[in-house]
Amino acid sequence: MNQPSLSYDFLTATLQDQPPVAREWPLANGVTARWRERGILELVPPQLDDHTDRVLISCGVHGNETAPIEVANGILRDIEQGRLPLAVHLLLMFGNPDAMQAGERYLDYDMNRLFNGQHAKHPATREAQRAAVLENAAAAFFEQAPNGCQRLHYDLHTAIRGSVFERFAIYPYLHERDYNREQLCWLESADITTVLLHSQPAATFTYYTSRHCQTDALTLELGKARPFGQNDLSRFEGINQALRRLLSGQRDPLPAFANERFQLFRAKYDLVKHSDQFRLYLHDQVENFTLLEDGFVIAEDQDVRYQAHGGNERILFPNPKVGNGLRAGIVIEPVAI
């Protein structure tokens, strides 16, 4: 049997759970492909030294968020066929292949609530097993990174609902580390200037790699989720081109960071659904980042009342349909760094 080659379609093979016939094979321009697991492909550039940056691009952690999968697959295709040179050590992940195949956000449990060890609490779910696989693959990839290199992770998503700011990023909680302003400026080069700075640990993939693999990691919300083939990929050109510049080693100098060019927010508190009596007083179609008027009662749950203060707060990820004990939304407020 022949080695997998340019005709080997990694996305199709991932969806159909068909491993390649060899674990390693050459691509155009001296790039080597290494199959790690279903949906996890390592691409080794022709020039590798102690300063070669390591980049993890993940998508499909939510299986129905198809546009990022199409963007990542387009990049992979162009590397394979020699249209895009590779100057970084790249790990590409299609997060949840079974959910992708089904066209669903998830099958048993939201996978982006199962990282950072949370998978051990839900062992019977298919997503828990997969989250553990992704964590191990990321840890192994960054463990071998030389000290002098950058470690970057971009986890690409699209959101369930519309957004006042169409594209935004979530910067995981950094504990004692400072924000990497260069990363924020890189985001700006991808047409993303709205950023939520998380204020506490989370069970997300980017929190895991940021905390445990010392990456500069960002969750990117790139627009609204639509089925395969129904995406207007022109709306994703900012991130597509920024990733291509990064991967091919085009490091154009970026302007210095200034708060004024960004809309930075911090998470103020979570709306927690404690019981079936939880009522959210926002309509079903409310967009992310909708401004909350001073005094507005956002939600009530038995004797708990969540009320907006000051007129600068906004709502993010409202979802009253979550299970009891889970987050039904985040109240955020503007911040400067």
Residues near Zn ion (CB under 5 A):
62, 65, 157
CA pair distance 59, 47, nearest whole angstrom: 26
Q: What is the nearest approach in angstroms of Zn ion to the Cβ of residue 68?
A: 9
- Complex with Zn ion: residue 96 or 240, whichever CB lies closer: 96
Instruction: Choose the catalytic residue: 221, 237, 260, 333.
Output: 221
Q: What is the nearest approach in angstroms of Zn ion to the Cβ of residue 256?
A: 31
**C-alpha separations of 210 from 117, 140, 147, 158, 179 in Å:** 14, 14, 16, 21, 11
CA pair distance 143, 140, nearest whole angstrom: 5
Strand-pair partners of 156: 59, 220
- Complex with Zn ion: residue 42 or 65, whichever CB lies closer: 65
- Complex with Zn ion: residue 112 or 240, whichever CB lies closer: 112
DSSP assignment of 258-286 equals -GGG-EEEEEEEEEE--STT-EE-S-TTP
The answer to whether 143 is a known ligand-binding residue is no
Task: Reply yes or no on whether 221 is catalytic.
Answer: yes
Q: What is the nearest approach in angstroms of Zn ion to the Cβ of residue 95?
A: 9
| Residue 177 near residue 241 (C-beta atoms within 8 A) | no
- Complex with Zn ion: residue 72 or 88, whichever CB lies closer: 72
Residue with the closest Cβ to Zn ion? 157
66's enclosing H/E stretch is helix 66-80
The answer to whether 65 is a known ligand-binding residue is yes
The answer to whether 89 is a known ligand-binding residue is no
Per-residue tokens: 325: 């004990």
**Residues within the annotated binding site for Zn(2+)?**
62, 65, 157
Q: Which residues are catalytic?
A: 221
